[in-house]
Structure 1
Amino acid sequence: MKITKALPLAALASLSLVLAGCGGDASTSGSGTTGIQVPDLPMASEVGESEGQVNIIAWAGFVEDGSTNPDADWVSAFEEETKCQVNRKVGATSDEMVQLMRSGEYDLVSASGDASLRLIAGGDVAPINTELIPNFGNIVDGLKGQVYDTLNGKSYGVPIGRGANVLMYNTDHVAEAPDSWAPLWEEDTEYAGKTMAYDSPIYIADAAVYLMATQPDLGITNPYALDADQLAAAVELLKTQNGLVGEYWNDALKAVSSISSGTAHMGTGWQVIVNLAQGDGGKVESVLPKEGATGWSDTWMIAAEAKNPNCAYKWMDYASSAEVNAQISQNFGMAPANALACEGSDANAAHCETFHATDEEYYKQVWMWTTPVEQCVDGRTDVTCTNYQEWTKAWTEVKG
């Protein structure tokens, strides 16, 4: 199973976006955003004959032809069915994916929330005609119309899957299951020097989630919409944690080793890390704490000037089918986007239960990664929010 996910996130140049009215639950209200000034690009009106190929930038594990793992091959059937040869480029980071899409050589990308706004604002991707993707109708409601891929009533992404950043812990060292992030943040923690934290500027949002619950007077209502004072408060909390944390990670396999062996007693992680640790014999469990959590979601996005738009649309629909979406999500380690991917076998059902695939109450507590920009995504218009470039500078300050 390939589980590396283009981390840490690349630094982001300042965006000139006009965002407003993006409040709601942690997962957002599902209505996207309005008032964003982006290029007015046409979307496809029909899917024609195959051009013979499609060029895709994707995370490792999303587009597999059996060459990496003989048990993971959904590309071969697509090529035979559509006569579209799949040419895959594995993306290492979101920043690299953005640059590759701007080269004009690729038709599709599997974009995370930290890249999608950049692509949309830059006119690099076109709105998607979801009527041309029959399987879109089976996408879970909680992944439709989100702030990171739906703007001004237009959809720019076809959801692939999602996951939460959970609190994982080793039961040999943590006798009672925690229900709060407090042991990772508070100075009096009994786990000082034995915790793990995620090594990326986007982790600032995790601090913001905790502050939302513990310091409501700061007025944080969205962890990706921090004004200067709110960012300063998050940085102060992160500096406190820096003196307590045993290690930072951005390599998931390293995280598996640390939590499984008990080198780390608890820390921020992904459910797939917990699963692998358990598979290695580690006594590891996870919980979504009462304060909520951050998370991530990926979507297929089509290039504004795709050379092979017909094959691109055929791929987006094919990859969104229940069978293929189940394979992708299980291969990567995330909740599938297609609700029907949870049916058909005991393995599918078990996977979906583990990753809370259709549990919208669970994901209402999860704030999906969204690029911080100057225009506050919580709807405030009387202040300027901090952008990802400022977050990157702040993270360097935290790490020292």
Structure 2
Amino acid sequence: MSEKMSQSATRRTILKAGGALAATSLLAPAIIRNAWAEEEPITLLTWETYHEPDWVAEWEAANGGVKIKPVVISSLDEVFAQLQSGAVKPDVVYSEASTAGRLKKAGQIGPFDISKVPNVANILPGLNWKEPLSVDGTLMGIPLHWGTQPLQYNADQIKEPPTTWGDLWDETYKGKVTTFDDATVNLPMVALYVGAKDPFNLTEEEFTLVTDALRALRQQVRVVTRGFDDAATLYASGEALIGYCHNVAVVNSLKKKGINSKYSLPKEGTPSWIEGTFVTPKGQRDIVYKFLNDTMSLPWQARFMKFSGSNGILTGADALKAGLTEEELQNTNIPDSEDPNFKDNLVFLREPEDVERRIQIWNDFLAGTL
């Protein structure tokens, strides 16, 4: 996720200029601040751009000096490594929704007490977040932000917006197709294309269909990209016309360069992710939930969205009211939510039936040995 959220110094400058935005909502009466005086620090297992030092300092000052200790990680593997080693004993863990089951089984997170976070009312109504953040019917977290991994295309060369993942297999685009290096996301996309009933729990027959489709896709793909810049460069040079988009940030970066890049949400469904906010057994404290509630407020979310370019969790109207510009809003997936089919189109990532098998299939795809 850190790659998804890496941003320029320009955004940092914008943030500092608007740093006072959240002050009013986060300031608490002195009597409440005193109630937190003896609280131990709140330790976060978090990611770059989620909890910037000036945001943390502001919240601490407004809450009786309760300390926030962000521990920044850079991969999902590191989330589990830190937790299993015991080197970090967090109160809050930020991790992709599909890891909720694994975290719960390991005893690393507990049920989320949603009654203590009334600001969940600010979450975009079209975001079907409770199901992917629940395990066996128990809510384990709330979203901090979300995103889609749609179909990207050069709108100057492809006049009609593509509506199906099948266009990646269209021989018209042979050698002009891209995808990115990630087994856990590419296989669900291919599974949607071949009509799998559940792209995260494939039958043997469906595994065969996915493998065959990947073998055919290998002939179409120009380059398997390994980062946003890598993908943007291929589209900017004309070497790529269509592909599986790692993040809409790639499309937006091309637009800024004057390239008519667009994306669409295919009819088969669009793989999407939610960054979950999970609370550990140690973190089941009122002050922890107060902090999480504050991070779900309109001012905090708008600041986070401006700084990171994230979708956040707000509706378009609330984002504009809280300080986003129309241009910043248009650079997110939020306007897509106005489509009545939006909610049903998003296919949120879940823990698959066999991670190792999927990784091996993907590695065979990369090596051309399928």
How would you bin the TM-score normalised by the shorter chain? Answer: 0.7 to 0.9
Whole-angstrom distance in 2 between the partners of 1:5 and 1:347: 20
Quote the offset at 1:229 in angstroms: 1.9
Quote the offset at 1:128 in angstroms: 1.3
**Is the 2:187–2:358 Cα contact (8 Å) retained in structure 1?**
yes
Cα deviation code 1:159-200 (max 9, x no counterpart)? 1121111111123433443222223124xx221111111211
Q: Give matches, 1:315-394, under 5 Å.
A: 315-339=291-315, 341-344=318-321, 347=324, 351-352=328-329, 354-356=332-334, 358-359=337-338, 361-373=341-353, 387-394=354-361
Whole-angstrom distance in 1 between the partners of 2:294 and 2:147: 22
Partner of 2:55 in structure 1?
Answer: 74
Q: Secondary structure at the match of 2:150?
A: strand
Does residue 158 of structure 2 align to residue 174 of structure 1?
Answer: yes
Q: Give matches, 1:122-133, under 5 Å.
A: 122-133=106-117
Does residue 49 of structure 2 align to residue 54 of structure 1?
Answer: no
TM-score by length of 1: 0.75
Partner of 1:4 in structure 2?
Answer: 3
Does residue 149 of structure 2 align to residue 165 of structure 1?
Answer: yes
Q: 1:144 to 1:81 in 2, by over 3 A?
A: farther
**Is the 1:52–1:311 Cα contact (8 Å) retained in structure 2?**
no
**Is the 1:64–1:75 Cα contact (8 Å) retained in structure 2?**
yes
Q: 1:239 to 1:122 in 2, by over 3 A?
A: same
Quote the offset at 1:366 in angstroms: 1.4
Does residue 233 of structure 2 align to residue 233 of structure 1?
Answer: no
Whole-angstrom distance in 2 between the partners of 1:223 and 1:246: 25
Does residue 77 of structure 2 align to residue 95 of structure 1?
Answer: yes
Q: Secondary structure at the match of 2:119?
A: helix
Q: Which of 117, 127, 130 is the matching residue for 1:146?
A: 130
Q: Which of 113, 118, 136 is the matching residue for 2:97?
A: 113
TM-score by length of 2: 0.80
Give the letter aligned to residue 94 of structure 1.
Answer: L
Task: Give the RMSD, CA atoms, in angstroms.
Answer: 2.5
Q: How many equivalent residue pairs?
A: 328
Whole-angstrom distance in 1 between the partners of 2:324 and 2:94: 25
Quote the offset at 1:98 in angstroms: 2.1
Q: 1:264 to 1:144 in 2, by over 3 A?
A: closer
Partner of 2:183 in structure 1?
Answer: 201
Quote the offset at 1:113 in angstroms: 2.3
Q: Secondary structure at the match of 2:3?
A: coil
Q: 1:363 to 1:262 in 2, by over 3 A?
A: farther
Q: 1:352 to 1:362 in 2, by over 3 A?
A: farther
Q: 1:252 to 1:393 in 2, by over 3 A?
A: same
Quote the offset at 1:52 in angstroms: 4.7
Question: Identity over the aligned pairs, expressed in percent?
Answer: 21
Unpaired runs of 5+ residues, structure 2, are 6-34
Greater RCO structure (CA 8 Å; 6+ sep): 1
Give the letter aligned to residue 207 of structure 1.
Answer: V
Whole-angstrom distance in 2 between the partners of 1:197 and 1:343: 33
Say which structure is richer in helix. 2
Cα deviation code 1:56-77 (max 9, x no counterpart)? 1223221222xxxxxxx53232
**Is the 1:196–1:248 Cα contact (8 Å) retained in structure 2?**
yes
